[in-house]
Chains A and B, each alone.
Chain A
Amino acid sequence: TQLLEQSPQFLSIQEGENLTVYCNSSSVFSSLQWYRQEPGEGPVLLVTVVTGGEVKKLKRLTFQFGDARKDSSLHITAAQPGDTGLYLCAGQHLWGGTASKLTFGTGTRLQVTL
């Protein structure tokens, strides 16, 4: 059972447009990570958010962790073809100082065309 639902599942936009990807859960996570994966490669870590309400920026990418630490969003400004890929959120619990396994979201496939 997927505990993290991402929306949209697929997004095709033109270069220069803005977009937001959502990652929602009914569970509270200790931390949440965003990855980007290109075809035939492993996921690459983009960011880790750990505090409710936290906002982190990575160039044109803005990540936000929900106040209740149940959801997160990724906003891309002025998308470029190089942003094309599969975006995955992944939540993690921390119990007594021990980290759990990652629970991956359903994924959002982004295609940016010229």
Chain B
Amino acid sequence: GAVVSQHPSWVICKSGTSVKIECRSLDFQATTMFWYRQFPKQSLMLMATSNEGSKATYEQGVEKDKFLINHASLTLSTLTVTSAHPEDSSFYICSAREASWLYNEQFFGPGTRLTVL
């Protein structure tokens, strides 16, 4: 399958600071990337969908000013958690797909664990 990487794999930050998470497609061009959030022992919750070169589409209840998404190239999307608070602590996972794929599968990154102190 296609390979998606995330960086960093884990991050600890102080409350009030901003944290940037990178998501890269390593062997394909990701026309669409997705950002998910996962709480312990729960399923994935979609936060936003981003298409290269356009603004991200956020799911209901997700603050777009708090979770800034940039999809500036076909291989890179970034999620910036601004003014992070302890309740933002979670496992953040990105996925990516290419428009030409027959079944429109998404391939997921390994995730980034964010802990806000």
Contacts and interface: CB of A to CB of B under 8 A. Distances in A.
A106 interface: yes
Contact of B105 (A45, A88, A94): A45
Given A88-B43, A105-B43, A43 B103 contact: no
A81 to B, nearest CB: 19
Interface of B is mostly: strand
B77 to A, nearest CB: 14
B103 A2 contact: no
| In the A-B complex, the 3 residue pairs with the closest CB atoms | A99-B104, A42-B108, A107-B43
Contacts of B4: 42
Contacts, number: 54
Interface of B: 1, 4, 6, 34, 41-46, 49, 91, 93, 95, 97, 103-111, 113
A78 B102 CA distance: 32
30 contacts: A2-B43, A31-B104, A33-B105, A33-B106, A40-B91, A40-B111, A40-B113, A41-B110, A41-B111, A42-B6, A42-B93, A42-B108, A42-B110, A43-B44, A43-B108, A44-B1, A45-B1, A45-B105, A48-B105, A50-B103, A88-B43, A94-B104, A99-B97, A102-B34, A102-B106, A104-B43, A104-B44, A104-B45, A107-B42, A107-B43
Interface size class of A (residues with CB under 8 A): 20 to 34
A2 B45 CA distance: 10
A88 B44 contact: yes
A42 B113 contact: no
Nearest to A102: B106
Nearest to A9: B41
Interface of A: 2, 31, 33, 35, 40-45, 48, 50, 88, 92, 94, 99, 101-102, 104-107, 109
Contacts of B46: 101-102, 104
B43 A92 contact: no
Contacts of A35: 108
B58 to A, nearest CB: 12
B49 A101 contact: yes
